[in-house]
Structure 1
């Protein structure tokens, strides 16, 4: 059975639902991600080569998790965003998960800049980056830069969805 179109369709629906939830409530529901993960595993199991497909799915899950986990550990990203990227990776495999992560970083950077500018927090954001950069250059221990006010947060599930949609759309263009 050719499952690629079904995987892509389910992934696009999952990404859209996660982005909408993240915008509305600033949360990505675990049940949504769990259902998406189950759907990906079932579809991979129905593929022509289920062993290879499930192994690729596992590798994609691990890649998605490991790509965003460091950002969660330094409190730069929420757990739902990490779990969403891992679930996206389970659909796509490791190479495409990396490509989606790169596109999500691009979308996230553009979103962050727009949010900072629209909220009038550009000076605060630049000051925060200066403190972090200075501490890194001077090899100061973690936290030595001092605690500073956040320039704001954003629904990163939207950036992951944008990266996902872009990469999937490029397959069909």
Structure 2
């Protein structure tokens, strides 16, 4: 019997991803994105000109960690046989950066399923990123869309 992946998504489920932000993470992210702002790559500038006193990680890097935990949240579902749909990120709503993330911080992102809209095929999760001191760094909502798979007939035509 074919099922939706949403049948396996449960309100209240919590998933986590943790990572210590290192020099390499920030440098490679700057290279990948082209964001070479002094706030991220120039320690002297931040020591002399910023009240923070040191470099900070890119906010978009923290959103990347949010993306990672969204992937963790579906890993136990996506390879189940007979699913009629598959998950794709539909976006991140109301992302807010509340505190800077410093190099050396260990960021833990919590992803909690808050609601499911079966009619439109979406699940919604609250995300929170905290550091090792328990300080809230960033928040947001993730929207996961469960897209319909191609029919078996369409799949066999594509293969030929």
Please report the TM-score for the alignment, with normalisation by the length of structure 1. 0.25
Higher strand residue share: 2
